Chain A
């Protein structure tokens, strides 16, 4: 099945700096890559997603880039703020199934004031 690896597992940045989280996937047929944010004790919520027909997508301070050749995609957060502190999960469609997502293991982002 699809294998999604996410790095780093923990990331600390100073407020105002940028943060980058990277995921690699194994199935070259994968065509949809969402990112979810989970604050402590809360439910995961979608923050941005990208489809395979584009290489980059931006929404204010967050952006996602996709490299289909290398089979990796990354989340970029600029001008980080304390409220960006959370666990971030990437995901990709599970191999052979259009109805399942395989999630990465998560990145704990801490923004230091």
Chain B
């Protein structure tokens, strides 16, 4: 049981390049989240998916798109990367749709945009 996995672990992009961050969970959880973590700013929600087939914007969605490919997988896409998107990205999942449950985080993807 791997829990929540993310790929890649580390990525360097040039401004304007695109990439997709992958997240998968094997816990049969319904809801999945994408956060970014910047120094001194905690974790900020980018997008979330309450259930398969649905996605919603979080606090900082601009410059990102997401796809809930199936119940297991939730991907985050940067269409045209900007230096301001340099951050550590965490995926998380919870069993149901409400937040009054433990969020299980992936190991993170460290992204550097030059």
Contacts and interface: CB of A to CB of B under 8 A. Distances in A.
Contacts, number: 58
Contact of A46 (B43, B102, B106): B102
Nearest to B42: A103
B78 interface: no
B22 to A, nearest CB: 16
Interface string A1-33: 100001001000000000000000000000110
Contacts of A1: 59
B2 interface: no
Nearest to B102: A46
Nearest to B57: A100
A65 interface: no
A64 to B, nearest CB: 14
Interface residues of B, number: 23
Given A99-B50, A99-B99, A104 B42 contact: yes
The interface residues of chain B, by DSSP majority, are classed as loop
Interface string B80-113: 0000000000100000011110110111100000
B90 A44 contact: yes
Interface in B55-78: 56, 58-59
Given A99-B48, A100-B99, A44 B107 contact: no
Interface of B: 31, 40-45, 48, 50, 56, 58-59, 90, 97-100, 102-103, 105-108
